[in-house]
Amino acid sequence: MSLHLLSIDRFLKMVPSLKMRMRVLINVVVYERVKDHAKWLKGFNADAPRWESMGGTILQFDGDPNRHYIVFEFSDKEAHDFVNFAKTPTAQKVFKDAGVLEQTVQLCSTAIKVDK
């Protein structure tokens, strides 16, 4: 059995002692289309410190600054909490008020790192 065929979650269940030494990160990928990227980014930066993310990247579409992906890194529990929060009516109102026209939030629990 080769490691590259296993999901991280399944591997850690097979070797529980590694969980104590290894920090598992889960990605949450958010796609958004917004009215005005500059206005949205100002609000995003103001709210970002409240989130339990360990960091992230905003990937903006070439030729359309109002469409982007955000890739957040979370620990397992915080990732699930963020996804659940993002679906609440309260969060949806905040996103709408910030000018978000369309949004998809997706939990990605298995990743493959591609090297050169």
* % of the chain surpassing 90 pLDDT: 28
Rounded to whole angstroms, how far apart are CA atoms 69 and 29? 7
- Which residues 6+ apart lie within 8 Å of 99 measured at CB? 34, 35, 36, 39, 40, 43
Average pLDDT, the chain: 78
pTM over 0.75: no
Model pLDDT, residue 1: 38
3-state secondary structure of 32: strand
Q: Decide which of 115 and 35 is more confident.
A: 35
Domains of the chain are: 3-108 (3.30.70.100)
Judge contact between 106 and 4, C-beta under 8 A: no
pLDDT bucket at 43, cuts 50 / 70 / 90: confident
Q: Model confidence over 60-114: pLDDT tens digits?
A: 999 999 999 999 888 777 888 888 888 999 989 988 988 999 999 998 866 566 6
pLDDT bucket at 36, cuts 50 / 70 / 90: very high
Rounded to whole angstroms, how far apart are CA atoms 31 and 34? 10
3-state secondary structure of 44: helix
DSSP 60-116: EETTEEEEEEEEEEE-HHHHHHHHHHHTSHHHHHHHHHTTEEEEEEEEE--------
Rounded to whole angstroms, how far apart are CA atoms 35 and 11? 42
